Amino acid sequence: MPMEKPKVAAEKPYVMKIEPGTYAWCACGLSNNQPYCDGSHKPTSFRPVIEKVTEERNVAWCGCKQSGNPPFCDGSHNKLKG
């Protein structure tokens, strides 16, 4: 049985300044609250990636869900076939 593939939520990263806290990054691509999890993964085998941030900083959350370094962008969106 082939592994499920995440839905591409965006073909670019979600770049933003974030405050310290715990974030649940959507790994399935189905959330209506991108780049964060809203529970839409429940019927899939995907689970969110929990990221603890200790200081305010700029991040580039992966939007295409293909990153080799989730939850962060690694440029994988540049390899998507459109």
Structural domain contains residue 54: yes
Residue carrying structure tokens 């073909």: 11
For residue 2, the tally of other CB atoms under 10 A from its CB is: 4
Structural domain contains residue 50: yes
What percent of the residues of the chain are helix, what percent strand, and what percent coil, each to the nearest 5? 5, 25, 70
Whole-number Å distance between alpha carbons of 8 and 41: 14
Structural domain contains residue 2: no
Structural domain contains residue 30: yes
pLDDT at 81: 76
Give me the percent of the chain exceeding a pLDDT of 70: 96
The domain of 69 spans 14-73
* DSSP type of residue 66: -
pLDDT at 82: 59
Indicate the pTM of the whole model: 0.93
Structural domain contains residue 6: no
Structural domain contains residue 39: yes
What is the pairing mode between strands 21-25 and 49-53?
Answer: antiparallel
Condensed to tens digits (0 to 9), the pLDDT of residues 13-52 reads 999 999 999 999 999 999 999 999 999 999 999 999 999 9
Asked if the model's pLDDT at residue 1 lies above 60, the reply is no
